Amino acid sequence: MPAPSKKAFALRLDPALYAAIERAAAADLRSANAEIEVLLREALARRGVKVDPPAPPKRGRPPRKET
């Protein structure tokens, strides 16, 4: 399930473009979704658009609740 801070939307791509994204993602050990996000961030940075880095995922157990 995606993190609630992520925006989900449908994206229609040319099949050849998506295949190229999948190949690039596999080479970088990423999902196609993560690869698209990286490519978009790189393209925006080249245009001078500043985007804050994503928050790292929370790892480990949640804090213990006091009973």
Asked if residue 38 belongs to a domain, the reply is yes
Q: Give residue-wise pLDDT tens across range 44-61.
A: 999 999 988 888 878 888
Q: Phi, psi at residue 10, to the nearest 5°? A: -80, 140
Is residue 10 a part of any domain in this protein? no
Q: What is the pLDDT of residue 43?
A: 96
Q: Indicate the number of domains in the chain.
A: 1
Q: What pLDDT score was predicted for residue 52?
A: 87
Question: Could you list the residue range(s) of the whole structural domain that residue 24 is in?
Answer: 15-46
As a whole number, the mean pLDDT across the chain is 89
pTM here is 0.72
Average pLDDT over residues 30-50: 95
pLDDT score of 28 more than 70: yes
- Domain assignment present for residue 5? The answer is no
> Is residue 65 classed exposed, middle or buried when 0-12, 13-18 and 19+ CB atoms within 10 A define those classes?
exposed
CA pseudo-torsion sign 22, 28, 29, 34: negative
Residue 52, in any domain of the structure = no
| Residue 24, in any domain of the structure | yes
Predicted confidence (pLDDT) at residue 64 exceeds the cutoff of 90 = no
In a domain, 34, yes or no: yes
Cβ proximity of 39 and 29 under 8 Å: no
Domain-embedded: residue 66 = no
In a domain, residue 25? The reply is: yes
